[in-house]
């Protein structure tokens, strides 16, 4: 289990302060048990067991937390989690960020229509997206240098990104999709850094 950053200012934020006690408890449970990308499997019985909240109430509470989480296809994602855990912007040479990038890539198909999620799919450094990892076979013809010339054929396996994309390419696709919308809203708009939660 990974350690979590928590911001004590959340208790002063009206969006958190006005939650009912059970809502606060369930949100903190999800926050502390999700992976480093902010994802946790949707599991009402487990949430009820660990929080002591009646299992019949859990689904109602998820709905009331819609401004803090997204529930989709058997998964929950904590909005803004990478940024609030100080994992934004993602950096290519940071091992923890590579893991966050991989986790975001694994959930891309599920959460790509969520504007808050797409903010994190476009790191400025163009991290490679795990969606496009592939293998390639290489062949070579050549000649050796030494006392004489010779011809040779060889076959080998290598790794390549064949059909892969970088997250920057995915970001371009999302920007084009956003531009095509009639409401002129930008789903990739940066979030307010001063918002503690």
For the chain, domain boundaries: 8-129+164-179, 133-160
CATH class of 8-129+164-179: mainly alpha
Q: Per the confidence metrics, is the pTM higher than 0.85? A: no
Instruction: Give the C-alpha separation, 191 to 197, whole Å.
Output: 11
**Could you tell me where the DSSP H helices lie in 34-89?**
44-51, 55-64, 81-84
Greater model confidence, 133 or 69: 69
The confidence score (pLDDT) of residue 5 equals 77
Q: To the nearest whole percent, how much of the chain has pLDDT over 70?
A: 60
Judged against a pLDDT cut of 70, whether residue 130 lies above it is answered with: no
Averaged pLDDT score across all residues of the chain: 73
pLDDT tens string 25-79:
999 999 999 998 899 999 999 999 999 999 999 999 999 999 999 999 999 999 9
């Amino acid at each position: 289990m990974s350690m979590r950053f928590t911001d004590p200012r959340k208790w002063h934020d009206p969006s958190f302060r006005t939650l009912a006690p059970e809502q606060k408890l369930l949100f903190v449970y999800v926050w502390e048990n999700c992976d480093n990308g902010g994802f946790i499997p949707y599991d009402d019985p487990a949430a009820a067991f660990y929080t002591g909240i009646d299992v019949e109430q859990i689904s109602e509470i998820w709905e009331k937390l819609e401004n803090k989480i997204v529930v989709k296809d058997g998964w929950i994602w904590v909005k803004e989690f990478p940024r609030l855990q100080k994992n934004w912007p993602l950096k290519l040479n940071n091992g923890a960020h590579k893991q966050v990038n991989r986790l975001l890539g694994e959930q891309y198909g599920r959460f790509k229509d969520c504007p808050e999620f797409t903010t994190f799919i476009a790191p400025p450094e163009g991290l490679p997206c795990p969606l496009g990892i592939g293998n390639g076979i290489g062949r070579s013809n050549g000649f050796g240098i030494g006392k004489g010339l010779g011809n040779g054929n060889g076959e080998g396996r290598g790794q390549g990104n064949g059909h892969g994309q970088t997250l920057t390419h995915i970001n371009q696709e999302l920007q084009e999709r956003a531009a095509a919308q009639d409401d002129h809203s930008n789903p990739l708009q940066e979030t307010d850094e001063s918002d503690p939660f």
